[in-house]
Amino acid sequence: MKPALLTAAAALSAFSLQAFSLPSDAPPARPNIILILADDMGWSDLGCFGSEIDTPNLDRLAATGLRLTQFYTTPRCCPTRASLLTGLYSHQAGIGDMMQDHGPTAPGYRGELAKNALTIAEQLKLAGYATTALGKWHVAHVLFDGKRQLNFTSKKPFWDNKNNWPLQRGFDRYFGTIHGVNSYYDPFSLVDGNTPIEAPQVSKNFYYTDILTDRAVAEINRLAPAANPFFMYLAYTAAHWPLQAPEPIIAKYRARYLAGWDKIREARYQRQIQLGIIDKNWPLTPRDPRVKPWDKTPDHEWEANRMATYAAMVEIMDKGIGRIYDTLKAKGIADNTLIIFLSDNGACDEGIGASFYDVPSRLRDGRPVKVGNANHAIMAGPEDVWQSYGPPWANASDTPFLLYKHYTHEGGIATATIAHWPAGIAHPGAISSQVAHIIDLFPTFAAVSGATHPATYKNHPVQPLEGRSLLPIFQGGTLPADRPLFWEHEGNRAVRVGDWKLVSRHRNPPAPSPWELYNLAEDRTEQRNLAASHPAKVAEMSALYDAWAKRCHVLPLPLPKITRPTGASDD
């Protein structure tokens, strides 16, 4: 897809585009900023990116904003959050892998934010912004007392320190979960400010997605209008497993997914071509070899229910975002509020096991938790069931791309991204295919706020930002396309320069596979490996990767021994 900016009026004929004119005499005043992060949502799971899931509110933001179709994250939840908050590669921020601390000899793998990694909240506070964080944090150590805390039988603290909790990293207010995966009905590690709390203290009808939306609406009502703008970081856990949602919304989708993953994938692919977000010359990736054709798969009702529950979780999040936007409009501040929506990585193909250290064994009332995808008599959705949707539906969520979360192929790192800012986006309803990365959000927010990145903060040196502002894209311009971008997670590696991408998947037994080379302008679904025919390009790009890895504290596997574990085995 060569054009950098495509007008999407025809592709979005179902949406109502609002009239718009960009002020010519002066840039807009400093905007409010709302950064909304979904969790483990696939590239094609929004209606405006090809989905059959009902997401009218995000589709509305896309129709009157800007879709970025080549925006990248890291391959995993916590590294993405580290990069998002600091404008650095995750290893520079101290979270090259997960939340375990691998000791001082591995500075890229300490499992919490580094002191010399300034957060966007810390910088925006210096510029006079009010700052609020809501939802999943996942960039600080969490310590488990076996499963006793999860099972409500232990009050032992789940933290060793609070140095990297939100209030200590620049946020004025925080409500959410410190740990990364949780029940939607009674989440572990729930915190209000610096104080651990429990779901029954918050609501008798607790559903995490809705509670986060309620808090976001309340914060907007508290903060606006005001003399100073605000920054809100809203990190939903939808649609990360466990698959849990209210029955009426699940029921709405069950018949829809009896069509099966093969037809869903093909329909999404065709809609993506019609919408203009992919090139018709990019082939749809083959069905995951682990997945049977739908017509040869048993128990269609159980399989459809898994995806129906996932879709319900996405729809509930979308409804919440609609409430947030309507609140901005009611307060008269929607036009000069920059909203960014994206997911933290691609779709998740993981299964769930009862032995997972962060999966509970029982509910607060003592009922056992039914875990896993093996028992087809157990249907996803209720509070006492923990299931995931696995490779079949993750394959559909990531249409048309290859692989999933954890990997550095496009299915792991490409994210559906929407920017909405009526006062600052020159061509509402447009589609940008310019390449951008999660490290670019911090510089973008700094640019629109006028904030300056300091060399020191609280007597600590501060690393310079790695990304670049996306403001020129918002204004209808272009950015240089030849900067190198890099990825590494648990041995999965990649580097992109212009249209060229070099990528390697770490396999079992542990060993990196040979480099693969793709021309993404011609083959973004990574179906034609050109490494053998372009050895000089492979050598050139692998040298760039090696230099970056050395500079950014990236280590080969195996990593040094863990000095401070995140979880303990079940007892």
pLDDT, position 8: 40
- Would you say residue 24 lies in a domain? no
For residue 519, the 8-state DSSP code is E
Measured between alpha carbons, how far is 3 from 434 in angstroms, rounded to an integer? 9
Measured between alpha carbons, how far is 281 from 553 in angstroms, rounded to an integer? 38
Measured between alpha carbons, how far is 98 from 141 in angstroms, rounded to an integer? 10
pLDDT, position 7: 41
Q: Using an 8 Å Cβ cutoff, are 347 and 405 in contact?
A: yes
Cβ contacts of 515 within 8 Å, gap of 6 or more: 502, 503, 504, 531, 538, 541, 542
Q: Which residue has the tokens 């997914």?
A: 257
- Would you say residue 481 lies in a domain? no
Q: Which domain holds residue 137?
A: 5-15+34-475
Global pTM? 0.94
pLDDT digits (tens, 9 = 90+) for 257-313: 999 999 999 999 999 999 999 999 999 999 999 999 999 999 999 999 999 999 999
Measured between alpha carbons, how far is 404 from 407 in angstroms, rounded to an integer? 6
pLDDT, position 327: 98
Whether the ω angle into residue 400 lies within 30 degrees of 0, i.e. cis, is yes
User: Within a 10 A sphere around the Cβ of 376, how many other Cβ atoms?
Assistant: 12
Q: Using an 8 Å Cβ cutoff, are 261 and 393 in contact?
A: yes
Cβ contacts of 260 within 8 Å, gap of 6 or more: 294, 295, 297, 300, 303, 304
User: Within a 10 A sphere around the Cβ of 509, how many other Cβ atoms?
Assistant: 4
How many folded domains does the chain comprise? 1
For residue 44, the 8-state DSSP code is T
- Would you say residue 489 lies in a domain? no
pLDDT, position 420: 98
pLDDT, position 563: 82
Whether the ω angle into residue 382 lies within 30 degrees of 0, i.e. cis, is no
CA-to-CA separations, 106 to 95, 159, 387, 554, in angstroms, rounded: 10, 21, 34, 9
pLDDT, position 13: 34
CATH code of the domain in which 420 resides? 3.40.720.10
- Would you say residue 249 lies in a domain? yes
> Rg for the chain (alpha carbons), in Å?
22
- Would you say residue 541 lies in a domain? no
User: Within a 10 A sphere around the Cβ of 254, how many other Cβ atoms?
Assistant: 17
Compute CA 315 distance to the chain's CA centroid, rounded to the nearest angstrom.
16
- The amino acid at residue 164 is N
pLDDT, position 400: 98
- Would you say residue 554 lies in a domain? no
Q: Which residue has the tokens 């929004």?
A: 46
Q: Please give the positions annotated as active site.
A: 77, 138
pLDDT digits (tens, 9 = 90+) for 1-39: 443 444 443 333 333 222 223 333 345 789 999 999 999
- Would you say residue 96 lies in a domain? yes
pLDDT, position 507: 82
How does DSSP assign 20-41, residue by residue? ----SSSPPPPPEEEEEEESS-
Measured between alpha carbons, how far is 395 from 401 in angstroms, rounded to an integer? 8
- The amino acid at residue 151 is N
pLDDT, position 485: 98
Helix axes of 300-330 and 208-223: crossing angle, nearest 10 degrees:
10
List of the chain residues with pLDDT < 70 = 1-27, 509-510, 565-571
- Would you say residue 483 lies in a domain? no
